[in-house]
Copies of this chain bind each other. A is one copy, B any other.
Amino acid sequence: MKIGELAKRTGVSVRSLRYYESQGLISPVRLANGYREYSPLAAETVKTIKLYLNLGLTTEEIAGFLHCVLKNKEAFCAEVMPLYESKLEEIERQLHQLTQIKLNLEERMASIRREREGSGAKAQTKAGEE
């Protein structure tokens, strides 16, 4: 199957398929005319790539274990678990940071509302002071 066909089947753009290839994630054979020819299994591969991208992994990280998980159960691939762990930590750091921002935002919004109701009585809360 050619690249347009694969794009249609997987819902991934032609541009992205070529990008995945440049990152070493897929390796279609080339026809005599230079066209990429994908095996029918490629659709599964692409869906797997999408899955890992959705987990927040980068193409580079995926490249490190994709070969293994395509042939084995994921649990068999030793590279995966440490990657998941560090990714989880990263996500948690981001969650913490976002939550902090959210709290500060809400505090400032509440402060403004108080000030408006109180007819400008209280002093301005000048900072969230991280």
Binding site for B on A (CB under 8 A): 47, 51, 54-56, 73-75, 80-81, 84-85, 87-88, 91-92, 94-95, 98-99, 101-102, 104-106, 108-109, 111-112, 115-116, 120, 124-125, 127-128, 130
Most buried by B among A47, A73, A120, A125: A73
Provide the residues of chain B in CB contact with A54, threshold 8 Å: 101, 104, 128, 130
Copies in the complex: 2
Q: Is the CB of B112 within 8 A of A80?
A: yes
- Whole-angstrom distance between the alpha carbons of A111 and B69 in the complex? 14
Q: Is the CB of A74 within 8 A of B105?
A: no
Q: Given A54-B128, A98-B95, A128-B55, are A74 and B112 also a contact pair (CB < 8 Å)?
A: yes
